[in-house]
Amino acid sequence: MVRAHNYILIYGISILNHVCAATALPSTTKAASAKDIDALYMEKLLANLNTSVDPCVDFYTYACGNWAQHYDNSAYVDVPGYMDFEVNKQLLNALLAANETTNGSDVAQQAVRYYESCVNLEAPALNAFLRYVQKTLNFEWPILRANWQRPWQNDTEFDWLRVVGGLRAFGLSGVFITQDLNLRTTNSTQYLLELHAPQAAAALPTTQILRLKSIEDIFVNFGLTELEAHNVSAKVIALDEAINEALNIGALMNASNTFNASIGNLTRTNVTSLEMNVGDLVELVPEIDWRTYLQHVLGRTVDLNQQLVQTYSIDLPYFRQLPALLAAHTNETIAYYIMLKFMYQLNADLPYNMTDAQKSTHCMRLLRGYMPLAANYLYEQHYYRHRRAASDAALQRMFNKLRANFAQLVAANNLKLNATERAYILAELDGMQLRIGNVPHDASLNLTHFVGAYYAHVHMNASDFYGNHLQLIHSSVRRMQVKLLNEPRTANVSAQLKQIYEYDFETSTSSSPIKIFDNVVLVPYGYLQLPLYDHRLDALLQHSLFGFILAHEIMHAYDLFHIVYDQNGNFNRLGLDVAQHYWGFINCTRQTVLSDIVSENMADVAGLRLAYQTYFGQEDSAGEADKSAKVETTITAGVKSTTITSRQATLADAHNDIAGRRATPSTPLISVARETPLKYGNFTRPQLFFINSVQFLCANMPRIEALNVQAHQLGHDMHDVRVRRNWANLEHFAAAFQCAPDTPMNPSEKCRWW
């Protein structure tokens, strides 16, 4: 499934999870009063600050500079990673607790069996996966032939379409042909199969690139001599190079005259999209037996007239030359190429060289990714159900306030939209929904029975990880492919299933909120706990952090990608007209390549403005920090009192108070207490708003830099760059911290979207 934006930061790229102690806030499942929550929250927040830094010069380091000292754990490098680390530990506890009950649900038992098969796996070996799929596909891998004295049995009867198509059910994609599930641009209630050329090696993650020495080692481990391994590997590399040459953008552009785009800015969003049935594709690219291929991909008979597919003009030249390209290589070389790609895909799923603690969390992450409904169900039952009513209501109120305030920003019309364009924006806003937790939670629904029925076809064996793992992948792929039938469901079942969103592995294992193409902002349960959220927190603390996260996701409905899809999810050319008004912001940011990074920055800038306006109201809050009278909030014994104090304290005073100097009675502050008032910092409300808004981006930046992860791999700027670039565009920030003109966080030219 495509068309979704989310916060997936560093976690999961190359950091292993560990189940071990961490400096953390206690779970919000523990009983605590509102004053305790506020006090604890403020204590942890202020500990993250590095007040030796001038916020007007480097606000990220000011707000997050000491975070790594308190969250020093090799399992994660940033707040999103920490949240997933905690969720994995919590989910393991929930899983074990559910399985130990006398009436433990079948889904809990199935999940435990999968988990046990993973953590108890000894000497992981990829060839076990090869043997499983070999039996299923009734096919022999040349490396696994029982008798090397005889020729490989498929040497003259090898059908790459059948093998690649059949392996799609086990997750393989991007080998010769890439398949994705997509929605029709003109009718978002229907699905189609997207077929396009694979990514060239230069665009692949480094872990997926075939390298001569690495694959030589693989073949030696299979038992070949070094010379044999070298010869086989050289042939595989030659095939890989031929495919990459065929994928050369320049060559494809020369072979196709159906689009106009420059090589430097060429993506599948600015070339011609072609929607058709399979019969049309057969006529367009007769070189490939599409009917046979798709029957193996989908595991069923394909109706040439009914099955919808989508491809792109730039892919057609590649498809037409693919069969001839493969014919220039031996069947054995092609089979080895497919085998290696399949092994590389599954390699990260095996728990190699891990301690017991590392293996435990690794296996829990696999469970979240391949049994997402079961994982969400168990988490909801164990951690969230008891506070759902109060927490959901608070989140929904905040979401509705954000939507109402965005409508006011649209009415203010900074973009100079005409009436039709504004109506287009507001129509989507009016229908936007908030979904909390990725499980159905209708009061009339027996959730345990529903989840059990959902996994009724799954049969886990506690001693067979390889079979379990392939079974779950197969189940996930087939469940997604059923949507291609576009068959109507009964109204009741449909309503329930609409509350379940199935995505790729990385998205399923993340606790981060996500803007879904169905005009929904989905908030997984994992983020709904400290240090990010609790419905009992003071309103400022809620709106400045989680309110900003929600506002950011709301803004994604109108970013460079989503703007062309209307409230029903259908392509609408009016969105292109609206997007023309974005050039002022884009040119102001001086970002020359239109990409997800630009969209993320747009959502940051506009989302921060929206969250700020929603909390402070329509007053001229840019001048809030300059007022001679300030609000001092004291939380005592659960009762919030507000008094007016005198003139604003300087930032130096605030720094001194944090360092331990006693504040004078006239010093404005936000203080938190249990029995007696406890002072936690000299900040105005706007200052604290901005400090808190950054907390979900706090990270160990030196460790991230050591990972050598690039922004384009993540789809957004690095944590520190985001804050320095985007927070500086809000005039309220400079006013709050009294930044001098033309300092880094108060540039003379500020970029505004909405």
Q: Which backbone phi and psi does 626 adopt, to 5 degrees?
A: -95, -5
Q: Is 434 helix (H, G, I), strand (E, B) or coil?
A: strand
Token pair 């665009």 is found at 203
Token pair 């499934």 is found at 1
- Residue 677 confidence class, pLDDT cut points 50, 70, 90: very low
- Domain 35-70+387-431+530-620+679-753 fold is Collagenase (Catalytic Domain) (3.40.390)
Mean confidence (pLDDT) of the chain: 83
- Residue 18 confidence class, pLDDT cut points 50, 70, 90: very low
Per-residue H/E/C for 90-131 = HHHHHHHHHHHCCCCCHHHHHHHHHHHHHHCCCCCCCHHHHH
pLDDT, mean of residues 619-634: 40
- Residue 709 confidence class, pLDDT cut points 50, 70, 90: confident
Question: pLDDT higher for 687 or 18?
Answer: 687
Predicted confidence at residue 489, as pLDDT, reads: 58
Predicted confidence at residue 301, as pLDDT, reads: 93
Sheet with 639-645, side-by-side order of all strands: 639-645, 630-636, 670-673, 677-679
Give the max Cα distance, the chain.
93
Sheet with 308-312, side-by-side order of all strands: 178-183, 191-196, 308-312, 273-277
Inter-CA distances, 650 with 13, 67, 300, 647, Å: 42, 24, 71, 9
Task: Compute the distance between CA of residue 421 and CA of residue 425 in angstroms, rounded to an integer.
Answer: 7
Predicted confidence at residue 28, as pLDDT, reads: 42
- Indicate the length of the chain as a whole number: 754
Task: Compute the distance between CA of residue 668 and CA of residue 631 in angstroms, rounded to an integer.
Answer: 7
Domains 35-70+387-431+530-620+679-753 and 126-254+265-348 share a fold: no
Predicted confidence at residue 752, as pLDDT, reads: 94
Predicted confidence at residue 312, as pLDDT, reads: 92
Q: pTM of the full predicted structure?
A: 0.83
Domain boundaries, the chain: 35-70+387-431+530-620+679-753, 126-254+265-348
Sign of torsion over alpha carbons 712, 713, 718, 719:
positive
Range among 61-65, 135-139, 507-511, 563-567 rated most confident: 61-65
pLDDT tens figures, 84-131: 999 999 999 998 888 777 455 789 999 999 999 999 999 999 999 999
- Name the β-bridge partners of 743: 746
Bridge pairing between strands 191-196 and 308-312: parallel
In this structure, whether the domain defined by 126-254+265-348 belongs to CATH 3.30.200.20 is answered with no
Q: Which secondary structure element, helix H or strand E, spans residue 642, and what is its range?
A: strand 639-645
Contact between residue 546 and residue 533 where contact means Cβ atoms under 8 Å apart: yes
Inter-CA distances, 190 with 182, 183, 424, 561, 616, Å: 9, 6, 22, 20, 42
* Tokens found for residue 158: 């090898």
Predicted confidence at residue 387, as pLDDT, reads: 93
- Residue 490 confidence class, pLDDT cut points 50, 70, 90: low
Query: Phi/psi zone of residue 187: left (φ > 0), alpha (ψ -120 to 50 degrees), beta?
Result: beta
pLDDT tens figures, 584-598: 999 998 877 778 889
Inter-CA distances, 214 with 46, 353, 477, 630, Å: 48, 18, 29, 65
Fill in the amino acid letter for 738. Answer: Q
Inter-CA distances, 387 with 499, 533, 641, 691, Å: 19, 13, 26, 27
pLDDT, mean of residues 379-401: 94
pLDDT tens figures, 405-442: 999 999 999 999 999 999 999 999 999 999 999 898 77
Q: Which backbone phi and psi does 700 adopt, to 5 degrees?
A: -90, 90
Task: Compute the distance between CA of residue 131 and CA of residue 626 in angstroms, rounded to an integer.
Answer: 71
Kindly give, in sequence order, each residue whose CB lies less than 8 Å from that of residue 122, ignoring residues fewer than 6 positions away: none
Least confident of 21-25, 308-312, 545-549: 21-25
Task: Compute the distance between CA of residue 191 and CA of residue 185 in angstroms, rounded to an integer.
Answer: 9
pLDDT tens figures, 183-237: 898 888 899 999 999 988 888 888 889 999 999 999 999 999 999 999 999 999 9
Q: Which secondary structure element, helix H or strand E, spans residue 169, and what is its range?
A: none
Using CB atoms within 10 A of its CB, is residue 688 exposed (0-12), middle (13-18) or buried (19+)? Answer: buried
Bridge pairing between strands 4-6 and 514-516: antiparallel
Kindly give, in sequence order, each residue whose CB lies less than 8 Å from that of residue 73, ignoring residues fewer than 6 positions away: 18, 20, 22, 82, 85
Range among 352-366, 590-604, 631-645 rated most confident: 352-366
pLDDT tens figures, 286-328: 999 999 999 999 999 999 999 999 999 999 999 999 999 999 9
Contact between residue 541 and residue 38 where contact means Cβ atoms under 8 Å apart: yes
pLDDT tens figures, 123-167: 999 999 999 999 889 889 999 987 777 888 888 888 999 999 999
